[in-house]
Amino acid sequence: MDETTDISHAKTQKRQEETKTLHPLVELTLMRVREFLREKEAVFWVFIFPVLMTFALGIAFRNTAPDKTLVAIEGEDAKATELASVLSRSPEISASVLSPEQAAQALRSGKVSIVVKPTNDSFEYHFDPTRPESRTARLLVDDALQRGKGRTDVVSVGEQKITEPGARYVDFLVPGLIGMNLMGSGLWGLGFTVVIARSRKLLKRFAATPMHRSHYLLSFMLSRLIFLVLEVAAVIIFASLAFGFTVRGSWLSVTLITMLGGFTFSGIGLLVAARPTTIEGVSGLMNFIMLPMWLLSGTFFSSERFPHVLQPFIQALPLTALNNVLRALMNEGASLSSNWIPIGILLFWCVISFIVALKIFRWQ
């Protein structure tokens, strides 16, 4: 009898040694990491989706010969046919002869960028000046027609076509995708996890233990840091393999800024999740916060294109700041110090959102 209890006692002791617990902050962070890695969908959205997106957009906007400008010529007489042959001599124009109705229809639906209507001795251009491709088409068509009538260049100019790495659309796109991805994973990752824990009364249960509340919130930061490195690396490595993307600035600066971006959006995620008790509530709030940044912060095209009056607002958005710094570092090889304004904006959002989130956080 004594012997068996001794053995089982020894066994228990040995097992206890096996499952030592670590510092609460480490245990909490481990919990985050485990929960994330065991959620297959989350892994897809954070790691696979951005890579697929880079791939799709990189292919869609890859550098092939620029598309020809499509032009319609109105009228069915010999004059129109002659005009078409003049225009088609230009390598950048593809002209077709259409009836007036067909031509108007083609212009309306965007099939052609401009309609040329022959008049007695001249031409008339029908186009929509608010469409950039129509304005380009007008210049190309006019140039081709004037040359056809005998105009010559006053000065001959040299041309150098630049499509080298660093100035292509994909080079512009990758930093933007990284920024957008950091925003998405920070907000969704934190927001949902916190609100689910709250709605399942898990936050209340933690509040009933001597756990340091700051440890709980810090564990989100630490786990984000781990995944951030992986998700940014996934996009950069893929883009460099598939499209020859290169980072011109220093890797240290890029690492520091992605960390700052990750922390900033974690803070905003925490702020968004500080009060809501339902998934519906937090989803609405997250969309409300992210939508303006998706639209305005220059992920897919430069935010400079938006009207001047909106610029102060757009530049103050954390995603605009992050995208701008990332592009400066990756595309232009700029230094951190020359980007102190957007870095300052990011730091501001990071600190403010954390402080406010801690103040208003609801544990039950």
Site string for other proteins, 149-188 (x = CB under 8 A): ----------------------------------------
The footprint of other proteins on residues 209-248 (CB under 8 A) is 209-212
How many C-beta atoms lie closer than 10 Å to residue 107's C-beta?
Answer: 21
The least CB distance from residue 362 to other proteins, in Å, is 12
Q: Is 204 in the site for other proteins (CB under 8 A)?
A: yes
Chain-centre distance of CA 3, in angstroms?
67
Strands 69-74 and 114-118: parallel
- For the chain, the maximum distance between any two Cα atoms, rounded to a whole number of angstroms, is 119
The angle that helices 49-60 and 213-243 make with each other, rounded to 10 degrees, is 30
Sign of CA dihedral 227, 229, 232, 236: negative
CA angle 207-360-292, nearest 5°? 125
φ/ψ region of 245 (left if φ > 0, alpha if ψ in -120 to 50, else beta) reads beta
Q: Nearer to other proteins by C-beta: 208 or 310?
A: 208
The least CB distance from residue 302 to other proteins, in Å, is 41
Binding segment toward other proteins, per CB under 8 A, in 49-57, 169-177, 207-215, 346-354: 207-215
Size of the site for other proteins (CB under 8 A): 32
Q: Which of 79, 151, 201, 362 binds other proteins (CB under 8 A)?
A: 201
Sequence letter at residue 312: P
Nearest to 322 by CA among 186, 183, 187, 228: 183
The footprint of other proteins on residues 8-67 (CB under 8 A) is 12, 15-16, 18-19, 21-24, 26-28, 30-31, 34-35, 38-39
For the residues of 20-88, what is the DSSP string, one character each? ----HHHHHHHHHHHHHHT-HHHHIIIIIHHHHHHHHHHHHT---SPPPEEEEEE--SHHHHHHHHHHH
Chain-centre distance of CA 209, in angstroms?
40
Q: Nearer to other proteins by C-beta: 206 or 294?
A: 206
Site string for other proteins, 304-323 (x = CB under 8 A): --------------------
**Phi and psi for 246 in degrees, rounded to 5?**
-130, 145
Q: Nearer to other proteins by C-beta: 45 or 61?
A: 45
Q: Nearer to other proteins by C-beta: 130 or 209?
A: 209
The least CB distance from residue 216 to other proteins, in Å, is 10
Q: Nearer to other proteins by C-beta: 39 or 143?
A: 39
The least CB distance from residue 254 to other proteins, in Å, is 32
Q: Which residues contact 313 (CB under 8 A, 6 or more apart)?
A: 296
The least CB distance from residue 132 to other proteins, in Å, is 50
Q: Nearer to other proteins by C-beta: 35 or 332?
A: 35
Site residues (vs other proteins, CB under 8 A): 12, 15-16, 18-19, 21-24, 26-28, 30-31, 34-35, 38-39, 197, 200-202, 204-212, 364
